Amino acid sequence: MDNLNSNKLGGQNIPQPIPLKEDLDKPIPFDVGGTGKANVSHAPLNLGAGPAAPAAKIEIPKPVAKTTAPKIVSTDRITGLRTFFTKLHPGALQFLDEQVGNWLKENPGIVIKRTNITTGEIQAKKTEPNIIITVWY
């Protein structure tokens, strides 16, 4: 491999760095001897298709205020809950219907606020899928 001279790289001159004078805290200038103003045109680009057409103004519709129905807020709070569950076969579901009905008959002052029904496995002697009904009152 050829020994390269520090001033030449493959026959080409390497430009020397810009001297910084004495002040090392001063920022390095981006352009040497320039006016500092960029020569940039802000006119639309004309690709030879005639004069540039003015940009069309797009009108954005103003959002319409939605009228919301007044919220119905119950002053009664949830004071308790009751959970019913049974296996998933017809006889057990009929028993669950009777159990929920009897509980409501025994407690006529209860106002049901919310219910939730889900299925899941309940562990007893053996783990089996069950229907689980939760009643908030």
47-59 pLDDT, tens digit each: 776 665 667 777 8
Is 90 exceeded by the pLDDT of residue 13? no
Per-residue pLDDT, averaged over 35-46, amounts to 68
Query: Residues 59-114: pLDDT tens digits?
Result: 877 777 777 767 666 667 888 999 999 999 899 999 999 999 999 999 998 889 99
Domain residue spans in the chain?
81-136
Q: Where are the beta strands (DSSP E) in the chain?
A: 8-9, 12-13, 81-87, 114-123, 127-136
Is 70 exceeded by the pLDDT of residue 130? yes
What is residue 66's three-state secondary structure?
coil
The count of other CB atoms within 10 Å of the CB of residue 105 is 8
Cross-strand partners of 48: none
- Please state, rounded to an integer, the average pLDDT across all residues of the chain: 77
